[in-house]
Amino acid sequence: MSGALRRSAGILAAAAALLLLLPLPSRAAETWQTTPVFLIDPSQVPGYPAGGESVKYRIFDSLGSPVGPVFGTFATKPFDAVEVPPVPGAYKLESWVLDGEGNELTRVSTILRFDDVAPAAPGAAGPAGWLRGEEVALLDLQAPPAPLPISGLAGYAISLDRGTGAHPCAGALCTEAEIDLAANASLEQIPLGTLPQGITYSRVVAVSGAGVPSPVSTATFRVDSTPPSIALSGIPDGWRNRPITVYANATDPLSGMAVAGPGGRPPRSRSTGAPRR
């Protein structure tokens, strides 16, 4: 082998060794979670390189500073769970495998994202007055005030009930399937469809990127699809040769009656004149 070929082979070998020492990304823990104990897939972190005798681990905070000392175990029994400090953040777990002589065989890393903080409650409002039965109910939301959790905002979960106070999410955390509105969606005039007659409550929570719900906000919707009932009184039997006064009384047990006239009072009666004979 010529000297040039030997030099090229040496460079390639050195590059391969360097690649083995660089931290490689892992898909062992990609999503945010609300508990500081993370399950780790040992086949990825640290892996099972041939000739491995021991495994070392170290945790770093989001600024790259070590959190605690290096810890380790036998390469044949790598850890399948690691705990980070109970402070929200994105931690890096770095792990490397050593052979019997202390030589590093491989090095990998993964990010452990921990956040158990709930967002503040969003604003939620329905229309000020009553809706007719055929009108679509429109919900207006306001984003929760800052600061947001470190995991950000996944969106909003929305539910409707008739006064039971049901929570938009079935469990202590909200699942992705329970998020009805993305965080970047428009928060104005959200259509909820037509609602049944009476009072319906919309419960809304903001959901963090880790699935933690905010306190519940409630918007109230009032629907009246039944026309008022009118009762007439003062109508005499038979014909009359003088003016008569007829009283009309309209009632609505849900939305009530609208006021009329400059004085703001509902009309109560009207006189009807008849020609004299």
Residues 220 and 247 in one domain: no
**Mean pLDDT value across residues 139-154:** 97
Residues 166, 243: one domain?
A: no
Q: What is the total count of domains within the chain? A: 3
Mark whether 79 and 170 lie in a shared domain. no
Per-residue model confidence (pLDDT) at position 9: 44
Single residue among 93, 114, 135 that ends a domain in this structure:
114
Q: Which residues contact 61 (CB under 8 A, 6 or more apart)?
A: 67, 89, 91
Residue 260 confidence (pLDDT) above 80? no
- Tell me which residue range forms the domain holding 82: 3-114
The predicted structure's pLDDT at residue 256: 72
pLDDT mean across residues, the chain = 85
Q: What is the pLDDT of residue 250?
A: 76
Contact of 157 with 121, CB cutoff 8 Å: no
CA-nearest of 55, 32, 33, 35 to 44 is 55
Distance CA 190, CA 198 (A): 20
* pLDDT average, residue stretch 90-117: 96
Nearest residue to 36 (alpha-carbon basis) of 115, 150, 118, 109: 115
Listing DSSP states for 155-206 in one string gives: EEEEEEESSS---SSSSSS--GGG--EETTS--SSEE-----SEEEEEEEEE
Q: Do 157 and 85 fall within a single domain? A: no
Give the confidence band of 263 by pLDDT, cuts at 50, 70, 90.
low
Q: Are residues 168 and 218 in the same domain?
A: yes
Q: Is the pLDDT of residue 244 over 90?
A: no
pLDDT band at 140 (very low <50, low <70, confident <90, very high): very high
Q: Are residues 176 and 139 part of one domain?
A: yes
Distance (Å) of CA 248 to CA 146, 234, 251, 267: 56, 9, 10, 8
15 and 96 both lie in a single domain: yes
Specify whether 80 is located in the same domain as 174. no
Q: Average pLDDT for residues 180-200, to the nearest whole number?
A: 96
Tell me what pLDDT residue 20 has: 37
**Residue 87 amino acid letter:** V
Same domain for 43 and 104? yes
pLDDT tens-digit series, residues 195-213: 999 999 999 999 999 999 9
One domain, residues 137 and 218: yes
More confident residue, 244 or 28: 244
Amino acid at 150: I
Q: What pTM value is reported for the model?
A: 0.77
Gap between the Cα atoms of 110 and 98, Å rounded: 18
Q: Which of 209, 224, 239 is the last residue of a domain?
A: 224
> The domain spanning residue 86 has which CATH number?
2.60.40.10
Distances (CA, A) of 84 to 88, 89, 140, 157, 190: 9, 9, 39, 29, 40
- The pLDDT tens digits for 15-53 are 444 333 344 444 445 689 999 999 999 999 999 999 999
> Domain check: are 74 and 140 in the same one?
no
Q: Are residues 243 and 215 in the same domain?
A: no
Q: Is residue 277 part of a domain?
A: no
